[in-house]
A and B are shown apart, each in its own frame.
Chain A
Amino acid sequence: MEASSFSKRLLTFLGERWSAFFLVFMIFVFSLVAPNFFAVKNFSNILYFSTTYLLLAAGETFVIVSGGIDLSVGFVMGFVSVFSSTIMRDLYALGAPQSVCLLAGALVGLLLGLIPGLINGLLVARLRVPPFIATLGMYGIANGVALNLSKGFPITFLPPRAGEIGNSFLAYFFPGRGFTFLERPEGLGGDDLRLLVGILPTTVIVTGVVLLVFAFVLVRTGFGRHTFAIGGNMDAAIRAGIDVPGHLIRVYLISSFFASFAGVLYVFRAGIGNFTTMSASYELFAIAAVVIGGASLFGGKGGIGGTIIGVLILMTLENGLNITGLQAFYRYIATGVILIAAVVIDQLSPERETRSG
Chain B
Amino acid sequence: MAEKVSAASNPGLSPFVLWTGRNWSFVFLVLELAVFGILGVRFLRLENLQNILVASTTILLLGVGETYVIISGGIDLSVGFVMGFGAVNCAKAMVLFQSQGVPDWMAILLGAAAALAIGLIPGLVNGTLVARLNVPPFLATFGMYGIAFGSSEIISKNTPISGLPALTGAIGNGYVLYWLPGKFLRLFSRPEGLAPLELRRLIPIIPNVVVISLIFVGIFAFILARTSFGRHTYAVGGSRDAALRAGINLRAHLTKTYILSSFFASLSGVIYVLKFVTGRADAGSARMLDAVVAVVIGGASLYGGTGTIRGTLIGALIIATLETGMVNLGIPSFNRYIAIGVILVIAVLIDQFFPELVRKGE
Contact = CB atoms under 8 A, between A and B. Distances in A.
A344 B135 CA distance: 6
A329 B150 contact: yes
Contacts of A144: 334-341
Contacts of A348: 133
A137 B150 contact: no
A129 B346 CA distance: 10
Interface in B319-362: 332, 334-342, 344-345, 348-349, 352
Given A144-B334, A144-B337, A133 B134 contact: no
B134 A347 contact: yes
A91 interface: no
Contacts of B147: 332-333, 336-337
What 3 pairs across the A-B complex have the smallest Cβ distances?
A: A332-B150, A140-B341, A144-B337
B338 A141 contact: yes
Interface string B136-153: 101110111111111101
B69 interface: no
Interface of B: 75, 81, 129, 133-136, 138-140, 142-151, 153-154, 157-158, 281-282, 285-286, 289, 292, 302, 332, 334-342, 344-345, 348-349, 352
Q: How large is the interface on A (under 10, 10 to 19, 20 to 34, 35 or more residues)?
A: 35 or more
A139 interface: yes
- At the interface, is chain A mostly helix, strand, loop or mixed? helix
A160 interface: no
Interface stretch (A102-110, A197-205, A217-225, A277-285): A277-285
Contacts of A327: 153-154, 157-158
A87 interface: no
Given A333-B151, A339-B139, 7 more contacts: A133-B344, A144-B334, A278-B285, A330-B154, A332-B146, A340-B140, A344-B133
A144 B290 CA distance: 13
Contacts of A152: 334
Contact of A139 (B143, B289, B336): B289
A297 interface: yes
Nearest to B332: A148
A145 interface: yes
A185 B191 CA distance: 75
B145 A336 contact: yes
Contact of B143 (A134, A142, A337): A337
Contacts of A212: none
Interface centre among A140, A143, A145, A330 (most CB of B within 10 A): A140
Nearest to A338: B143
Contacts of A151: 332, 334
A141 B336 CA distance: 9
